[in-house]
Structure 1
Amino acid sequence: MNRTTAAGTHPLDHLVLPTQSLDVARARLTALGFVVAPTGIHPFGTENCCVFLADGTYLEPLAVGNEQAAMTAIAEGNVFVARDRIYRDSQGEEGFSAVVLGTGNADADQARYVEAGVSAGEMLSFSRAFADTAGKSDIASFKLAFASVGKATDAFLFACERVNAPNVDRTALQAHANGATGIVEVVAVSDRPAEQDRLISVAVNGPTASGQGGAFHLPNAALSVLDPASFAARFGLPAGAPTELRFAAVVFSVRSADITSRLLAANSIKHDIAGSDIVVQPASGQGAAFIFREIQ
């Protein structure tokens, strides 16, 4: 997936899924048919075990590995850790807290966020070690700019510039038994969907990205904002407590719905059918509804 500059609508980069335990998340994601990467340690107390997809997007299950380091980071103004803590205090230890956009210029995004009044705080730059399934390691470096509005605690967005992308082979990490190849849609719930247009348009750097039905069309995926009734009708799932904005579901493309459903059944993963979609409700280690859709 090509990264954009600040001049174009940003693509989806990854999704942040808070969890209490990476061991639980790893077990759940493996049962769902995903290959899960080795644990990554952040220098500010959090850790992850990512699921990388062939389209260049990925899931980031996120846990607090070092409580003291996390508290220190929050005290020092680390927005990423602070927003994670706010989310956990509001929504619990399992969930889907952030949508992350790819960018080639996080500084320009920060300037736009500040000008538009949607900046969630200071930028964050950091590096961490990365390893593939064969044990080959490299250093990944990132620069982040954060966006949110008002007193919202249920969700935030941020732009992620990969200052140094790991020079490792992710082929094995992208060969998922469930046939998942990418993310085609991210679905949020809001009591007032239209009021989220400005925040999301600014965050994705796409003033014309908004389409009919509350869908924002990114270069590689859609970001949809539904009212609770529409969400429940579409997926057959409860929309949850009232919210200004809460990310609720991820729609994956799969090669074969039959292969996916057989794997889920074999691993005793309860799932339902909503139209042509296979719907798996959230669970410990899986903070959002996962929707599998066959796309040829």
Structure 2
Amino acid sequence: MRRGLDHVVHLVRDLDAAGEIYDLLGFTVGARNRHPWGTENRIIQTPGFFIELLQIVEPEKIPAAEGSAFSFGAFNQDFLARLGEGLSMLVLEGSDATHEKAAFDADGFGGFDIFDFGRKARRPDGQEVDVGFRLAFARDPASPDFGAFTCTQLNPENFWSPDLQRHSNQVTGVAGVVLVADAPAEHQAFLETFSGCSVQRALDAWYVAQTPRGSIDVMSREMFTERYGVPAPGGPGLRLAAIRFSTPGAPELRRSLAARRMVEEAIDGIVVVPQRAALGATLVFELTPA
């Protein structure tokens, strides 16, 4: 089954500071939420997709990864210690975690238990509600710094909020994510299993999977820098490098961010917020018709 983009984890050291940056970028940022394993998050929603700003607040509560149990907290704690702030995990929309785990296991990209959890969430009107999630983890053995899982919403009516999807930057949705690797073709099999989508070669160093919600582009680091004008994250295997958004308000956003020195040189039709301005993430805003 083809799986659309669900969310991206943006790992930060200071959740409130990260919220201020995303507010400057014109996003509506949700309230703090607490996980029982020592992390807290804030959510930035677009229709069907969100950014999870994540901070490790109680490291003593982070469970170790043991056997077939994947530790979300431990993965991000290790990522932060070794690599610093940035985009740590890509999450696709799940529908049947048992089936997804079986597919990942069969192709050699799984081996982890399904993980169910719930937490409290606060609506924009202040009402506290229950949300729940069921996760199936995948891994590319050649990519230790790339987290991947599917997420099935157990209480979607309590999670998604039209009020949180209204942004002053006029973002209408996610256009895609960009991964980088030294040899993109070597990760084609993993990405096809993970996404359930065909991964097609666009150029020698650029492969694309069109999902039901946004594209997954994987390109060489050199091509990423040539296309977006900013450095690509390093390391072995895949790294999550950028999130792409659609907005008719790109020209106004460029002017606003240029005054704050939060954008790179002009690239026709897009606004690029580099890692140095967005806590290790590259954020791309692409002009779309109003």
With normalisation by structure 2, the TM-score equals 0.91
How far apart, in 1, do the equivalents of 2:229 and 2:264 lie?
Answer: 11
How far apart, in 2, do the equivalents of 1:151 and 1:125 lie?
Answer: 27
How far apart, in 2, do the equivalents of 1:100 and 1:221 lie?
Answer: 12
> What amino acid maps onto 2:135 in structure 1?
L
1:256 deviates by 2.0
- Aligned to 2:74, the other structure's residue is in SS state helix
1:168 deviates by 6.1
Residues 210 and 144 of structure 1, relative CA distance in 2, 3 Å threshold? farther
Is 1:155 matched up with 2:146? yes
> What amino acid maps onto 1:165 in structure 2?
P
Is 1:97 matched up with 2:91? no
How far apart, in 2, do the equivalents of 1:241 and 1:89 lie?
Answer: 15
How far apart, in 2, do the equivalents of 1:187 and 1:168 lie?
Answer: 26
How far apart, in 2, do the equivalents of 1:136 and 1:272 lie?
Answer: 43
Is 1:68 matched up with 2:60? yes
* Preserved CA contact (<8 Å) 1:131 1:137: yes
Percentage of pairs with the same residue: 28
Residues 89 and 254 of structure 1, relative CA distance in 2, 3 Å threshold? same
Is 1:86 matched up with 2:85? no
- Aligned to 1:272, the other structure's residue is in SS state coil
* Preserved CA contact (<8 Å) 1:131 1:138: yes
Deviations 1:95-140 (A, max 9, x none): 1011100011011101111111111622211001111221122111
Residues 176 and 47 of structure 1, relative CA distance in 2, 3 Å threshold? same
Aligned equivalent of 2:170, options 179, 182, 191:
179
Is 1:256 matched up with 2:246? no
Is 1:138 matched up with 2:145? no
Matches within 5 A, 1:1-296: 8-53=1-46, 55-70=47-62, 72=63, 74=65, 77-92=69-84, 94-119=85-110, 121-150=112-141, 152-167=143-158, 170-206=161-197, 208-212=198-202, 213-265=206-258, 267=260, 269-283=262-276, 286-296=279-289
- Aligned to 1:258, the other structure's residue is in SS state helix
- Aligned to 1:248, the other structure's residue is in SS state strand
Residues 75 and 169 of structure 1, relative CA distance in 2, 3 Å threshold? closer
1:74 deviates by 4.3
How far apart, in 2, do the equivalents of 1:74 and 1:135 lie?
Answer: 35
How far apart, in 1, do the equivalents of 2:211 and 2:160 lie?
Answer: 26
With normalisation by structure 1, the TM-score equals 0.90
Residues 237 and 12 of structure 1, relative CA distance in 2, 3 Å threshold? same
Q: CA RMSD in A?
A: 2.0
Deviations 1:230-255 (A, max 9, x none): 11110111124343110111111012
- Aligned to 2:102, the other structure's residue is in SS state helix
How far apart, in 2, do the equivalents of 1:46 and 1:120 lie?
Answer: 24
1:166 deviates by 4.1
How far apart, in 1, do the equivalents of 2:108 and 2:264 lie?
Answer: 41
Residues 162 and 211 of structure 1, relative CA distance in 2, 3 Å threshold? farther
- Aligned to 1:232, the other structure's residue is in SS state helix
